[in-house]
Amino acid sequence: GLSSHGIQWFPEVLTYNNLKQLKEDWKINVFRIAMYSDAYVANPDSIKQKLINTVNDCINLDMYVIIDWHILADNNPNTYYEQANTFFEEISSMYSNNPNVIYEICNEPNGNNITWNNEVKPYAEKIIPTIRKNSPKSLIIVGTPDWCKQLKPVADNPLEFKNIAYSCHFYSGTHGKELQDNIDYALNKNICIFVSECGLTDASGNGNKYFNEFDSWINFLNNKNISWIFWSFANKDESSSILSPNFPINDSNTNI
């Protein structure tokens, strides 16, 4: 599948027609909506409405859709815990038991002091019951420390909930065998891994494109039956964007 960039920056490309082309021509079956937590906290109503519109488009197209609470600059998922809990209470009520909807509750926890045991797991243990109350069977993806690369502490101390996946992110110009070994470590402990973000640049999302390394990663993931989402469906002027900066976003007849 594909991920949007921050919907506060590139909302215009998220149209029904574009998503329809992605499904029919590109053969994606899941779309991830990156809703940055700090942008939501600053302007919740308009950001949330854009997310809801895109979720509904994906459902109408019979695709899976990931609602991504995209922490990044806030580092610690607990920074906006109250806002996250209110958001997931409302959204999981709106899409109660809808099999299309997947919840990603904290993108890329990061920072030297942000650990699985002390910050991320306690956050997840509070947010997951909020979603489960309204949607008991929905898949929930939980972020892992160090920009979704630190999998061993998770595998050694997993959450005690069913139907949980743990996110791992890679960029083929930066990450290689060491991260793949961490994935194997988790899989060997029966931990479900979901690559909810990846790209063929370095970790900055810009610079050169590492096609051979990316192909190697996809072969690895396919051999392990691991789902993956590519970053990003946007017309941002950077190497990791699917669309060029001059993509005619207002032309409904344009093919992606």
DSSP 8-state secondary structure symbol assigned to residue 232? E
Better-scored residue on pLDDT, 29 or 254: 29
Q: What is the pLDDT of residue 168?
A: 98
Asked which of 34-38, 47-51, 171-175 is least confident by mean pLDDT, the reply is: 171-175
Mean confidence (pLDDT) of the chain = 96
Q: Does 153 score more than 90 pLDDT? A: yes
Taking only the tens place, the pLDDT of each residue in 199-219 is 999 999 999 999 999 999 999
Residue of 89, 90, 197, 238 marked active site? 197
Q: What is the pLDDT of residue 252?
A: 59
134, two tokens: 């309204």
Taking only the tens place, the pLDDT of each residue in 39-63 is 999 999 999 999 999 999 999 999 9
How far apart CA 66 and CA 104 sit, in angstroms, is: 6
Q: What is the pLDDT of residue 52?
A: 98
Q: Determine whether 108 is an active site residue.
A: yes
Q: What is the pLDDT of residue 175?
A: 83
108 in Cβ contact with 69 (< 8 Å): no
Block residue for tokens 């190497």: 239
Alpha-helical runs (H) found in 98-210: 121-134, 145-148, 152-156, 177-188
Q: What is the pLDDT of residue 255?
A: 75
Q: Determine whether 89 is an active site residue.
A: no
Helix (H) or strand (E) holding 217: helix 211-224
Residue of 12, 82, 108, 238 marked active site? 108
Answer yes or no: pTM beyond 0.75: yes
